A = this chain, B = another copy of it.
């Protein structure tokens, strides 16, 4: 993750609807959700959700793939992980005071990260 993508990612996450979309896509998992389902869930118009999805894709935070009539969007886990890493390492220079809280969170999903056996369904 370079600075350009990080700036775009922070911008993408700074909007309430888009943050909401990322959250639901992360929870939805690898199967993703259709644009229509996202719009319904977020309670915004189709054209509005399309605008925000394009913004999220421009930042590289989501992936899309057509599935028959629908277009399925899913969270780009690698990009989100890259952003966390950028924030801790590049932006915050790995400062212990900043990374300390992350260590706690990391600890509680470290098993999953290692074994990759507890993916949410």
Contact = CB atoms under 8 A, between A and B. Distances in A.
Tell me which of A104, A118, A119 has the highest count of chain B C-beta atoms within 10 A of its own C-beta: A104
Q: In which size bucket is the chain A interface?
A: 35 or more
A44 interface: no
Nearest to A97: B77
A8 B14 CA distance: 7
Interface string A99-111: 1111111101110
A46 interface: no
A7 interface: yes
**Interface of A, helix, strand, loop or mixed by DSSP:** helix
B82 A94 contact: no
Interface in A49-88: 77-78, 80-85, 87-88
Given A3-B19, A106-B106, A99 B87 contact: no
